[in-house]
Amino acid sequence: MLSQKTKYALRALVYLASLPVPGSAAIAEVAVGAKAPRKFLEAILLELKLAGFVESRRGRFGGYALAGPASDISFAAVIRALEGPLALAPCASVTAYRQCEDCFDVEVCPIRQALIASRDAVAAVLEAWTLQTALSEPQAESLLTD
């Protein structure tokens, strides 16, 4: 399950992607656009900056902006940066594989294949779903007009 932090992060990134290119927005504007508490969003944007998804600009026209094209930022990359691997168990992870602590034999585990299949399905969707994809969804218009 996604944490509230990750949901706010994704909404903030989609909001930044909706700005005219190259656009930046002050933290207060991003908070309103992402419908997120400003204080919490400050910490989230700092984490997104450290992960390379956003950059901050100082000065009169400063604020936060995407660090790259919206079409290059996948939901999977953001989720991995904030939450860790997409897999439900470490034995099914591609990026952080390890045998489960209570596993007797990973090669004959009766649930591992289902976990790998679910990870693959989730990863396929989230890797393909970019900030640009989110903006092209019909409900994205409410983000741009609210």
Q: What is the pLDDT of residues 19-29, one digit of tens each?
A: 987 778 999 99
Domains of the chain (ranges, CATH numbers)? 1-73+130-146 (1.10.10.10), 85-129 (no CATH)
63-66 and 54-57 as β-strands: parallel, antiparallel, unpaired? antiparallel
User: In a 3-state reduction of DSSP, which class is residue 54?
Assistant: strand
Please give the pLDDT value at position 140.
Answer: 60
| Helix (H) / strand (E) containing 65 | strand 63-66
In whole angstroms, what separates CA 88 from the centre of its chain?
Answer: 17
Checking if the pLDDT of 145 tops 70, the result is: no
Tens-place pLDDT, residues 87-134: 888 888 888 888 788 887 878 888 889 999 999 999 999 999 999 999
Please give the pLDDT value at position 45.
Answer: 96
How many beta carbons lie within 10 A of that of residue 11, not counting itself? 19
Checking if the pLDDT of 144 tops 60, the result is: no
For residue 102, what is the DSSP state?
T
User: Is the CB of residue 44 less than 8 Å from the CB of residue 6?
Assistant: no
Q: What is the CA radius of gyration of the chain?
A: 18
Tens-place pLDDT, residues 38-69: 999 999 999 999 999 999 988 777 799 999 99
d(CA 24, CA 126): 25
